[in-house]
Each structure stands twice: as structure tokens, then as C-alpha cells.
Structure 1
Amino acid sequence: MDILIIHLNTATERLDFQNRQFKQLNLAFEIVEARSVSDISEESYQSLGFGWQRPLRKVEVACFLSHQKTWETVLKKQKPCLILEDDAVLAKHVPELLRNIENADFQDIDLINLEIRSRKKIISKAVFHDFQDSKTKLFKLYQDRTGAAGYILYPSGAQKLLDRLAVSAPAIADGFIFSHYGLKSLQAEPAAIIQEDQMVPYGLVPAAQFDSIIGRSEHFKPEYASFNEKFKFKQRRLAGQIAMAFRYIQVIAKAEKRFIKLDKKDFI
């Protein structure tokens, strides 16, 4: 399986880390050059950054456009690819898991999320697929809230995301992906990928090693140009919350909301 790492060329420490990590895992990767804030003109920012539930920062627009490049790459390759942000930390069993997923040759799946990020997910009560060799189980993923640092995207999923983008505005990358309820998605357990800034909350390191270049959206407080603008964004957010609630009602009989397990011993 091809592995695509979204990498900003100024983040040399991150690339050094990934080279060391992938050497230990005996895996290869391709770099997808990330879009930077300097690539986005003010005109482009005004057209792309104000159509979601809140105003996006330029760095979030750049992140979204970087993920969009990987979706286009997957569609061009016409094969599933593992998409990573360059601060993704991989579990030791990832090579075996990728082989197992590739050999399983799922025909009706758009996306498999390998990541966790300190929030509960809504997944199926029943196991969708059990990989005995890699000790990983896959569950149907009905709703996720945060995290786009490590996911396998199939060409069908890439097409659905790009089709949606053709008729809707960009959002934060994970928000855009996981609010697309037309995607047939799975969640891996135990999680195989964690973003670097989550290693402290999950007890994998005693202190943070470096801050995210993007910065986490959950800590961002937007500023609005006027009351009318704020009201418009609040309406969009309310519509998004209603859609999430309706989704939960749709699947509640066959789903549960819980944290995904992580095996600390399986991380390098």
C-alpha cells in the first residue's frame, strides 16, 4: 500500500522523525508537499475560508488544501493509500496491518481511520472484520469528531470527498471528512496511529516534544466582523449539530459511543 505523507518543506525536524520512524518499520513513503500560508492569496482566503461553521484561519485552509491534494493523488493512483500528516506516530504493527487490509481487498469501503484523538467515536457494536495476525479489529465508523493524521482512503472515498467539495465550502480537514455521512468508513482498534501532540494525554511520553504547526482547532476562538456574520456562522454550526444528532439517532440501535482502545506497548 502506498503511503502519502503531507509535509511542509520548512518542517525539517518532522521529516527527520518520519525518516527514522519509517526506517524502523521498514516502510517507504511518498511526500505530498503541503500548501503553506504563503501560497494562499488574500483573495483565495476570502473565497475559501468563510463557508464553514466558523471562519477558518489561513493555516487551516492550507491544511485542507493539502489533504485535497492527497485525495486527488489517490484518485489518480486508483488504489487505496495511507494518508499521514507529518507528525503522525505509528504503532509497531502498522506494516502487518497494512498488508492485512490490502489482502482483505474490501470492495465496499471508502475510508479506514487508524487514529484516535482523545474523543469518543460512534462505532458499531459488532465487529466488521477481525485480523487475527495483527490483533486488530475493524468496526463500522458512524461518527468521528477530530483527527485526520492517519487514515486509509480508497479511490471511491476520494471521489466522494472531491464531489462534495465541488458543491460545498472547505472546512477543517477532519470536520470535512467525517461530516460526510455518505462515506462508508471503518475504525481500527487498537488504534494504530496517534498524532504527536496526543502522546502526552495518552501517557506515551512525559512531555510534549514540539507544537503542531497547524495548531489545534479545538482551542481556536474565532473573531467575527459583525453580529450578522456571527449569526450566519452560528446557524451553520447549529445545522451541523443537528445533522450529528440525527446521525446518532439513525444508528443508535446498532452503535455505541466510546473511546477507542490503544496499546501503549505497541508504539516505538
Structure 2
Amino acid sequence: MMFGETTVMKTFVISLKNSPRRERVVNLLNSTSLEYEFFDAISINDPKFHLYDKSNPMKTYFRKGFVLKATEVACFASHYALWERCIEIGQPIVILEDNIGLVEGGDEYIKSLYKRTDIYDYLKLSSIPNHSAPPIFHEIERINESLLFGYNNQETAGTTGYIITVKAARAFIQGATEFIDPVDNYLEKPWLHGIQVYSSLPEPCYRENVVSEIGQRKDKSNRSTLIRISKEIYRTYELFKRKRSWHTS
């Protein structure tokens, strides 16, 4: 079934209920052509926060050298719930976070990229460099005179904005039997779920400079020698898996 050209694009903005951030998002998106709705983020105080049982602090600690904060697990759970929503409504969706900023013409870029969901399953709309060297963009096609479509040569951070298909949503859910990584790291690991990440140049969105509601993410203090060794072994393993699975075709 083709979605990109014929289906009304559904856009969800993840935001904690009653968050003061919503006013900024309303002012931003109401000035664009995007139709959107808020999706109440799962709070650590929410009785529905049952997905916390999916976290495995010990496994995360041995692999990463830190444990996920409760707010990080709640962030993962919020995205997970929207993947379920994507499957429920049976069409690709746009997922934004309430720290979003838009470049000039970003709303039209998003609409153009949405049309590529007939072919591609996970389109990242904003990224944060994850390494000292910035990612190198590889062009697949020129969508129009100002927008290129392709992928980066390495993983990036952030979940400020992305588009997923039902296929991707199912794969992300099936791969997330446990919440080991922060959600943005998880989405960039195709060997875990079989979904490649694509992006554009320029990217339609960026992370606005607003105070994080997750807080300080990683406490790496007081790590034992065993944990340092364990982390390095797993890092080497992931480098091997990434080399074999990152846009190999």
C-alpha cells in the first residue's frame, strides 16, 4: 500500500502533560503548514509506567558503564508507545519532541521526506554528531533543488524528530525486549532491529536550546576496572556489528 502521496500525514509531538514547553511548540508549529497533536509523554510518576520493567540496569552497566536514569527509561517508553500507535493506525507517522526547532522551510522538507516512506522505513529529521569527527553525508537522490536525501556514514544522537513506517515500528518493538540503551542509541543500531536510518541535507529540525527534562544523563564515576574492561569489550563488539550492518547494501 502506498502512503506517501495519498495519506494525510500524522504528526505527534511528545510532551509531558502540562509541560510549559508546549506553549513554545504551539507557537512554533502553528506558524507552519504542519497539522499535529500532542502525545502525553510517559512520566516516571505515571501509574502506566509499567515499561520500567523492561530496563535492565545491570546489563546496561556492564555494557555501557552507566545505568539509565528513570527519566531515560520513561523517554524510551514514550517513543515505544508511539511505535505501538503507529501500528494501531496502520500508516507512517512523524514523531517530534517538544525541544524541536525548525529550519526555514522545515515543514515542507518534512512533507517531502514523508513521501519517501513508500521505500524507506526510518527517516531521521534531526541529528546530533556522536563523534569528534562530524558525519559524512552520502547522497541517494536529490528530492528538489534545495533538499538531498541519503544517509550519514556513522551513527548520530538525538530523537528530536523522525519518521517511521509500520514496518519500522514493528521492528523497533520486537528488538526492544529490554531497554538497555538510551532510545536514540537504540534506534541507530540496525543489527538489533534490522532497520537502517536515513536522513537529509539539510535536516528539517534541530534541537532547540531548552532545559532538558531528562537531566544529567550518565554518571560514569567510580567505575571499577572490571566494568571498564567489560565496557571496552562490548564497545569493540558493537564496532564490529556496526561495520557489518551499517548501510552495507
Aligned to 1:131: 143
Q: Could you list the per-position Cα deviations for residues 210-254 of structure 1 after superposition, in whole angstroms to 9, with x for gaps in the alignment?
A: 41111353xx22467x95xx8368625632443235524776999
Conserved in 2, the CA contact under 8 Å of 1:25 and 1:92? no
* Residue 66 of structure 1, CA deviation: 0.7
What TM-score do the two structures reach when normalised by structure 2?
Answer: 0.79
* Residue 106 of structure 1, CA deviation: 2.8
Conserved in 2, the CA contact under 8 Å of 1:7 and 1:86? yes
Distance 1:193 1:178 in 2: 18
* Residue 157 of structure 1, CA deviation: 0.9
Residue 31 of structure 2 aligns to a residue whose secondary structure is helix
Distance 1:55 1:137 in 2: 37
Alignment partner of 1:60 out of 48, 67, 72: 72
How many residues are aligned here?
231
Say whether 1:5 aligns with 2:13: yes
The runs of 5 or more residues in structure 2 that have no matched partner are: 1-8
* Residue 67 of structure 1, CA deviation: 0.8
Q: 1:65 to 1:22 in 2, by over 3 A?
A: same
Correspondence list, 1:78-93, <5 A = 78-93=90-105
Say whether 1:177 aligns with 2:187: yes
Aligned to 1:155: 166
Aligned to 1:38: 45
Alignment partner of 1:221 out of 208, 211, 219: 219
Aligned to 2:199: 187
Aligned to 2:4: none
Conserved in 1, the CA contact under 8 Å of 2:12 and 2:37? yes
* Residue 144 of structure 1, CA deviation: 1.4
Q: 1:128 to 1:29 in 2, by over 3 A?
A: same
Which one-letter code corresponds to 1:155 in the other structure?
V
The runs of 5 or more residues in structure 1 that have no matched partner are: 198-209, 255-268
Q: 1:172 to 1:128 in 2, by over 3 A?
A: same
Alignment RMSD (CA, Å): 3.1
Identity, % of aligned pairs? 19
